[in-house]
Chains A and B, each alone.
Chain A
Amino acid sequence: MWLRVVDRADEAGPRAVAYGAFMPTSYRTTVYVDGKRVAENDATLSNAWHRPELFQLPFVTDGPREHEILVSFECWAGYLGCIVPPLHVGALAPVTDFYEWQTFLRIGVPQIGSVSILCVGAFALFFWVRRRHEVAYLLFFCASLLWTFRTLHYHLSRYPQPEGVFWWVTINSLPWLSVVVYLFAFRLYGERRPVVERVLVGMATISTLLALPNITSENWFFEQIQYAMQALISIFVTVVLTIAGWRRRRSEQLAMAAALWVCLAFGVHDLLLETGSITIESLYLLPYAALPLFGAFIYAMARRYRGAIEDAERLNASLEQRLVQRQRELDDSYAQLRRIEIESAKNQERQRLMRDMHDGIGSSLMSSLALAERGHADHEFVLGTLRDAVDELKLTIDSLEPIENDLVTLLANLRYRLGPRLGKAGLTIEWDMPDLPKLAWMDAAAALQILRIVQESIANVIKHARATKLRVAAAVIDGQVRVTIADDGVGYDVEAEARAPTGRGLRNLRHRAEQIGAIIEMRNLEPGTRVTLQLPIDRRRAPR
């Protein structure tokens, strides 16, 4: 096919001829000026896909003059026929501007789009490698890859060989891109629609297989079916996404649906362009669809990312709050436990004191009161009873003093109490009190028993022994604290007492000693008597 143009230059300067579109493919173009061949393009380059061309003409116009320019296109008259673009002939500078602008729009923009999308896709891939369960990021990477394949032919100046395979890959990227967009839009929400997904994948597979024969030879029939299926898949995905996004008010899905509508519109435009319904000088718009489509992708991912961060922050906040609350609950329950412990200790102590009062002071006061009421008690008896009661009370009080398991202080305080009375009884006291280990087991109840045992032993000496000296000593022997109370009095028949224990006193002492895990022994000395109280230091290892 030939185009003839007459160049009438009005101004001086070099001249050029350019055209902004060229299709469908592999045209060899030859330029003749005034019947002379001046230029041709390199037809061995498979670069012809709507790639602008610029030819500098070999003449300089220095006055009004006419030149005849003939451009020959070796047109392959395929199914679409032969469409040639309008020629722009004129001064070199404006024609070059035109050429460069066309090159940018047709090659630069698709290049920039592909590279940017691949970068974002790589970012998503790295993200996915670390977070394998976030499949949406992997899908985004796949989409970016597919998009790059789909638009590769817009800016490559030399197609990879074999060219049939290249076109097969390029053209079939589109249905898979639709599938990926669909998967992405729903996986983003963790949704799966197995049936729809299977149908889509099946259709994309069929479409891809149908295109296989085109690798070796172009087959118009298969190509049409294949394009029809691609269109079907794209429309299906677009409609489904639109409906789903609209129903659930999902801005991400709606954004993607909108982008797909734009893609569809651009696709229709490109189809019309290809069939010649729109001037050949127009642009292929599909590469421009990258902007809305991947804008929607990035929007969706950014929202998801922001949502994840906000979720994490909310979670942290609520965790902190829950931690504080749990801490408070724990504190409360500890406090309650402590209260219960204290309460129970108080209760035990109260019960012990009640028992002591009831059995000790209470009963002795009651019996003397009964005697006194019947007139059987003389002054001395009443005095004696009251004194005993006060003594008993004092013992109880002393057993409650904070002496921290210190037997020495316990015994010392007893001596301090009894000292004046012993002096009045004419007894000289020999006191031998070394440092003693603390008795961890000695609580107030045990302290009271020890006080009673020692006091009764001393009282026995005062009452019965007619002694002049009383020796109270303590020592540590064989893991035991041994407290001895010895007098130089008349002594008494220990053997007889052991055979038939008549004295309430001695039986009482034994009983009290048993209660605290101690052993009491009485032995006749010549002269006098010795009472030995053996207290275990560690009651868990007490001899039985």
Chain B
Amino acid sequence: MRAPARLIVVEDDAAFQDLFRAALEPAPGIELLGLFDRGASAIEALKKLVPDVLLVDLGLPDMSGLEVIRACAATHPECEMMVITVFGDEQHILQSIEAGATGYLLKDAMPEDLAAQIHALRAGGSPISPVIARQLLSRYSTPRPEVKDDAAQLSERECEVLRLVAKGYTFPEIARLLDISAHSVMTYVKRSYRKLHVNSKTEAVYEARKMGLLRD
């Protein structure tokens, strides 16, 4: 039996706050550490609390949810971070992944799937849409001169998985097509998310060097 997932939620909409409380407090295997309606208070709380999962709405009143994700990624690298989004559109999701998120929740998928998705994320299953897969492929499947680190490139297997995701196949279908386990498929997806995050960091360093903000 695993330890319960300790959870922090950052959401300013009162209706959704109620919804989160109602869905998560009774859920087995989930311990709600705190629910914040401001980014600043969440970041402050993260200095003391150690969550396993962080749920963040992107549109907070005092800052972008991306900043909370970055702060959490810096101090709690083991923490899984999920973005709460209305549409799951490519731009928001990619930015969140670059900031360090490994999953996202569509607001209309709640409430029934909420606990299940949190558990799935902890088990390594990051959701990925075909559009996101396509973007990851177009960004990282060909070597780029400014990214020197080979580890930051997508592997052949990761590319294969993303290609099938981009064509609309589900994880179980991909597992069957590639003759690997569904868990491996999830691992490949999550790894490519991590690489996007790492790359965005090295790219930031690269850009900063180019602009003379950092020295080698």
Contacts and interface: CB of A to CB of B under 8 A. Distances in A.
Given A416-B129, A420-B109, A402 B90 contact: yes
A141 B109 CA distance: 101
B33 interface: no
Interface stretch (A115-123, A307-315, A389-397): A389-397
Contacts of A393: 87
A416 B130 CA distance: 7
A408 interface: yes
Interface string B93-130: 00000000000000011000100000000000000011
A408 B90 contact: no
Contacts of A431: 168-170, 173
Chain A CB within 10 Å — which of B108, B131, B168 has the most? B168
B62 interface: no
B157 interface: no
A390 to B, nearest CB: 6
Interface residues of A, number: 22
Given A408-B166, A413-B168, A433-B169, 16 more contacts: A390-B108, A393-B87, A397-B87, A397-B89, A402-B131, A408-B167, A408-B168, A409-B131, A409-B134, A412-B130, A412-B165, A412-B166, A413-B131, A414-B168, A433-B167, A433-B168
A403 interface: yes
Chain B interface residue number, banded? 10 to 19
B160 to A, nearest CB: 14
A398 B86 CA distance: 12
Nearest to A472: B168
A394 B109 contact: no
B170 to A, nearest CB: 7
A419 B127 CA distance: 13
A415 interface: yes
B130 A409 contact: yes
A107 interface: no
Contacts of A402: 90, 131, 135
Nearest to B135: A402
A95 interface: no
Contacts of B89: 397, 400-401
Interface in B113-169: 113, 129-131, 134-135, 165-169
B166 A409 contact: yes
A406 interface: yes
Interface in B163-216: 165-170, 173
Contacts of A174: none
Contact of A401 (B90, B109, B113): B90
Given A403-B131, A409-B134, A431-B173, A415 B168 contact: yes
Contacts of A415: 130, 168
A403 B130 CA distance: 10
6 contacts: A397-B87, A401-B89, A402-B135, A408-B167, A412-B165, A413-B168
Contact of A411 (B87, B134, B168): B168
Nearest to B89: A397
A413 B108 contact: no
A489 B1 CA distance: 43
Nearest to A414: B168
Contact of B134 (A394, A406, A420, A433): A406
A402 B139 CA distance: 13
Contacts of B109: 420
A303 to B, nearest CB: 55
B130 A419 contact: no
Contacts of B165: 412
A400 B167 CA distance: 18
A431 B90 CA distance: 23
Contacts of A414: 168
A228 B172 CA distance: 124
A413 B167 contact: no
Interface in B40-97: 87, 89-90
Nearest to A411: B168
Contacts of B166: 408-409, 412
Chain A CB within 10 Å — which of B129, B131, B135, B167 has the most? B167
Chain A CB within 10 Å — which of B87, B89, B109, B135 has the most? B87
A393 B106 CA distance: 13
Given A394-B87, A412-B168, A433-B167, A403 B173 contact: no
Contacts of A409: 130-131, 134, 166-167
Q: Which 8 A-B pairs have the closest CB atoms?
A: A412-B168, A412-B130, A415-B168, A433-B167, A397-B87, A413-B130, A401-B131, A416-B129
A445 B30 CA distance: 44
Interface string A404-430: 001011011111100110000000000
Given A408-B168, A412-B168, A403 B108 contact: no
